[in-house]
């Protein structure tokens, strides 16, 4: 027997209607009923309003591939997302995402577009943005659905995407490699640790390593790691990853934080070309610098464009490779080039910075507030005496100060390929694009602090942020190449294009709103054909 039963929720005051089906329970020998909610009672009309059917979870929900059909009349903003669509086609990002994430690539793209356009806004505002913009997914993604999306982005699919993108853009170019720290309040993430926080925040962190193409200026690989791992220890894992993914003849650019004999030997062992900043305190660097310290600072070694002196010296690297499987050690002499530089402007900056550090260390000593990390500097630059009458007396070691002063303004690079000091400097200075990419990730893409509670969500969110970074980096490169930054900021360009509308009507092709001459010029400078109404 079937009946309609009504029940009022005391907290909300809403009366729900249930379909009740009676049946006889043979085990309990009594009549029972099964109830199914079919709607809620309209208090005015007394009619039953059907409840919405629940959507299936994202992980198992699939959509028919191909263009999303227009089912309602809508006028939305279109100009900026059109720009991203074309860039996604030109870089192969859309095609590669479709191959790796056939059921969810549209959602990934829509979230990436949102992160770029809604500067620093949380994902909770995506539904509002989605209702106003034309975007690949075409509909709203709730916070719960975005969490399911992040969890569905698997490691094999991510690695496949990295491989596809690398084949498109590797082009035997130098790859800048660097690491940043991302702070987190979460206690559930296994790799969140206390370490050297580059943002000087009193929070635990995880580290994010990024590889960036010097010519393409686009990222093509990233990896997260525990927050307490020093930079110098991460290169070995990077080289292992590159071998596994089949990347050959890679060229890398590294800063001083990665310099160690083990890392240099590892680069030689893997037959990789490299440029790395070297510490002046190294004996092999000091020995060669002392021989040319005076002779290199003459007009013939001065470079007007960079306003500094340059000098290159071919040297020998004592290569060592231990082979546990054979129980022996290979020792060999490998070719290397040491590039030395001197800048008078940098000398003044070095002196000022060093004096500020000296003042801080002396203040710590005189106040008897020694810091464990500064002990080596206390011992190197100061004599400290303690007497019952005068207390603590701190005296600077003049010889040590003079020795440090000799190196003001000098810096060094090492390479096993580039012979010319200026060429090596140009390649190395382009490494700052990684630092700018980190700034984009942390500030513009709202990744300064991780706000997820599971490893799967973190992995998925990082990947969507990475996709957004590819689009941002591509636009930035094109603006730099066409000198657009003289007249526009990145945000100004996106805002200008975002005002272009499109009009959709069921049964008709999309119509594009008015486009100004200024907007057409922006598209052309970005190497994108302006949108036109589809007749």
pLDDT single digits (tens) 55-93: 444 444 444 455 555 556 778 999 999 999 999 999 999
Cα(249)–Cα(251) distance, integer angstroms:
7
Query: In terms of C-beta density within 10 A (0-12 exposed, 13-18 middle, 19 or more buried), how is residue 20 classed?
Result: middle
Residue 144 in domain: no
Reply yes or no on whether the pLDDT at 525 is more than 90: yes
Q: What is the tally of structural domains in the chain?
A: 2
- Final residue in a domain of this structure, among 34, 50, 66: 50
- Name which of 205-214, 347-356, 513-522 the model is least confident about: 205-214
Residue 367 in domain: yes
As a whole-number percent, the residues of the chain with pLDDT over 70 amount to 79
Residue 357 in domain: yes
- Final residue in a domain of this structure, among 405, 429, 455: 405
Domain of residue 352 covers 346-405
**pLDDT confidence bin for 442, thresholds 50/70/90:** low
Q: Which helix (H) or strand (E) holds 404?
A: helix 398-405
Residue 28 in domain: yes
Residue 382 in domain: yes
Nearest C-alpha neighbor of 176 from the set 244, 255, 279: 255
Reply yes or no on whether the pLDDT at 187 is more than 90: no
What per-residue confidence (pLDDT) applies to 195?
Answer: 46
- Name which of 424-438, 477-491, 511-525 the model is least confident about: 424-438
- Final residue in a domain of this structure, among 10, 34, 50: 50
Whole-prediction pTM: 0.68
Which residue intervals of 487-532 are DSSP H helices?
490-498, 517-525
The edge-to-edge listing of strands for the beta sheet with 15-25 is 2-8, 15-25, 30-41, 48-50
Cα(506)–Cα(504) distance, integer angstroms:
7
69-106 burial, b at 16+ Cβ within 10 Å, e below that, comes to: eeeeebebbbbbbbbbbbbbeebebbebbeebbeebbb
Give, rounded to a whole angstrom, the gap between the first and last alpha carbons of the chain.
Answer: 58
Residue 81 in domain: no
Cα(339)–Cα(320) distance, integer angstroms:
23
Cα radius of gyration (the chain): 31
What per-residue confidence (pLDDT) applies to 188?
Answer: 46
Residue 452 in domain: no
Reply yes or no on whether the pLDDT at 20 is more than 90: no
Cα(508)–Cα(534) distance, integer angstroms:
9
Residue 467 in domain: no
Strand partners, 503: 75, 511
């Amino acid at each position: 027997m079937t009946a309609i039963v009504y029940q009022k929720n005391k907290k909300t005051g809403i009366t729900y209607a249930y379909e009740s089906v009676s049946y006889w329970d043979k085990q309990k020998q009594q009549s029972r009923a099964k109830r199914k909610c079919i709607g809620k009672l309209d208090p005015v009309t007394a009619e039953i309003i059907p409840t919405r059917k629940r959507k299936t979870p994202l992980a198992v929900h699939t959509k028919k591939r191909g263009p999303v059909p227009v089912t309602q009349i809508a006028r939305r903003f279109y100009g900026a997302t059109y720009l991203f669509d074309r860039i996604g086609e030109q870089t192969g990002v859309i095609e590669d995402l479709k191959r790796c994430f056939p059921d969810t690539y549209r959602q990934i793209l829509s979230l990436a577009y949102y992160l770029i356009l809604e500067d620093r806004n949380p994902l909770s505002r995506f539904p509002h943005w989605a209702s106003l913009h034309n975007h690949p997914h075409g509909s709203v993604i709730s916070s719960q659905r975005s969490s399911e999306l992040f969890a569905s982005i698997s490691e094999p699919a991510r690695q496949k995407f990295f491989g596809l993108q690398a084949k498109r853009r590797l082009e035997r170019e130098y790859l800048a490699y660097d690491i940043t720290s991302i702070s987190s309040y979460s206690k559930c993430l296994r790799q969140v640790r206390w370490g050297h926080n580059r943002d000087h925040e009193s929070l635990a962190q995880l580290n994010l390593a990024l590889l960036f193409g010097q010519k393409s200026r686009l990222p093509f690989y990233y990896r997260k790691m525990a927050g307490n791992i020093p930079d110098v220890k991460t290169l070995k894992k990077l080289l292992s990853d590159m071998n596994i993914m089949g990347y050959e003849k890679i060229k890398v650019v590294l800063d001083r934080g990665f310099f160690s004999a083990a890392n240099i030997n590892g680069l030689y062992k893997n037959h990789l070309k490299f440029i790395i900043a070297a510490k002046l305190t190294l004996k092999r660097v000091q020995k060669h610098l002392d021989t040319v310290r005076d002779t290199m600072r003459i007009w013939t070694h001065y470079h007007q464009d960079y306003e500094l002196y340059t000098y290159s010296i071919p040297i020998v690297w004592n290569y060592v490779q231990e082979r546990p499987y054979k129980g022996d050690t290979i020792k060999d002499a490998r070719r290397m080039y040491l590039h030395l530089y001197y800048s008078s402007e940098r000398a003044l900056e070095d002196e000022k910075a060093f004096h500020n550090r000296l003042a801080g260390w002396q203040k710590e000593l005189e106040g008897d507030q020694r810091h464990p990390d500064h002990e080596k500097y206390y011992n190197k630059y100061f004599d400290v005496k303690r007497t019952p009458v005068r207390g603590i007396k701190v005296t600077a070691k003049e010889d040590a100060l003079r020795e440090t002063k000799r190196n003001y303004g000098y810096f060094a690079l090492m390479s096993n390929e580039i012979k010319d000091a200026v060429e090596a400097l140009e390649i190395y200075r382009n490494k700052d694009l990684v630092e700018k990419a980190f700034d984009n990730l942390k500030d513009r893409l709202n990744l300064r602090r991780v706000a997820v509670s599971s490893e799967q969500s973190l992995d998925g969110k990082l990947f969507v942020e990475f996709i957004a970074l590819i689009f941002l980096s591509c636009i930035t490169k094109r603006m730099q190449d066409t000198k657009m930054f003289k007249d526009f900021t990145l945000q100004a360009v996106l805002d200008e294009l975002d005002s272009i509308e499109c009009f959709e009507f069921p049964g008709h092709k999309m119509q594009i709103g008015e486009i100004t001459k200024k907007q057409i010029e922006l598209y052309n400078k970005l190497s994108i054909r302006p949108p036109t109404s589809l007749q």
